[in-house]
């Protein structure tokens, strides 16, 4: 009986394996597009520096400082009270807005319309006109946006 493994079979198998290896290398080196190679640029990192905690004294005894007589007699505002320099927010107009006018009174022409949730600072007032209490409001973000408004549609808010 003849052996299946002779020199011709072994050399043929090696030739076929070599040819398959060459085809595979050609595919990876020349046929595959270069765009699929990963980007090898170094990545940038964001560095956030967090300061270390500092020690805080556990207890510091309070020291009482007497107020001068002129400061002790000054009235304090109740929370929610309308006064000069207090911040207010337009509310309760049900989306209609509030007319801010050049002078207090319903007969004066509106200058512009303030909308619900807009914040203003009281800079003048109060004045009574047409049965309403009027305050002069100024927008903190735009000094030109100012005028007289009826107190009924204003709510006092904490200072922003």
Q: What is the pLDDT of residue 73?
A: 44
**Whole-model pTM over 0.85:** no
Domain range for 145: 81-157
Q: Can you read off the two tokens belonging to residue 79?
A: 């929370």
Task: Tell me if 96 is assigned to some domain.
Answer: yes
Mean pLDDT within 120-126: 91
- The answer to whether the CB of 140 falls within 8 A of the CB of 120 is yes
Q: Is 22 in the same domain as 86?
A: no
Q: Is 91 in the same domain as 148?
A: yes
Task: Return phi, psi of residue 104, to 5°.
Answer: -70, 140
Q: Is 86 in the same domain as 146?
A: yes
Q: What is the pLDDT of residue 117?
A: 87
| Cβ-based neighbours of 80, under 8 Å, separated by 6 or more | 156
Tell me the CATH number at 95: 2.30.30.40
Of 136, 146, 148, residue with least CA distance to 107: 148
pLDDT, tens only, 72-96:
444 555 566 888 889 999 998 888 8
Number of H helices, E strands in the chain: 2, 7
Task: Tell me if 63 is assigned to some domain.
Answer: no
Task: Tell me if 139 is assigned to some domain.
Answer: yes
Please determine, for residue 123, whether its predicted confidence score (pLDDT) is greater than 60. yes
Task: Tell me if 115 is assigned to some domain.
Answer: yes
Q: Measured between alpha carbons, how far apart are the two ends of the chain, in Å?
A: 103
Q: What is the pLDDT of residue 142?
A: 85
Q: Is 93 in the same domain as 152?
A: yes
Q: Considering its fold, how many domains does the chain have in total?
A: 2
Task: Tell me if 71 is assigned to some domain.
Answer: no
Q: What is the pLDDT of residue 160?
A: 72
SS3 state of residue 142: strand
pLDDT, tens only, 4-62:
778 888 899 999 999 999 998 888 887 655 555 565 677 677 777 777 666 655 665 66
Task: Tell me if 21 is assigned to some domain.
Answer: yes
Task: Tell me if 15 is assigned to some domain.
Answer: yes
């Amino acid at each position: 009986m003849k052996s299946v493994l002779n020199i011709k079979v072994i050399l043929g198998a090696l030739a076929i394996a070599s040819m398959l290896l060459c085809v595979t290398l050609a595919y990876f080196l020349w046929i595959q597009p270069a765009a699929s190679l990963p980007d090898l640029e170094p990545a940038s990192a964001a560095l956030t520096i967090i300061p270390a905690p500092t020690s805080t004294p556990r207890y510091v005894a309070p020291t009482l400082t007497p107020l001068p007589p002129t400061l002790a007699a000054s009235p304090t505002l109740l929370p929610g009270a309308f006064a000069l320099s207090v911040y207010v927010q337009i509310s309760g107009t049900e989306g209609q807005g509030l007319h801010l006018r050049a002078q207090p009174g319903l007969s004066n022409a509106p200058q512009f319309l303030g909308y619900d949730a807009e914040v203003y600072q009281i800079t003048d007032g109060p004045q009574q006109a047409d049965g309403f209490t009027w305050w002069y409001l100024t927008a903190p973000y735009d000094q030109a946006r100012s005028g007289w408004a009826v107190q009924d549609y204003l709510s006092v808010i904490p200072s922003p």
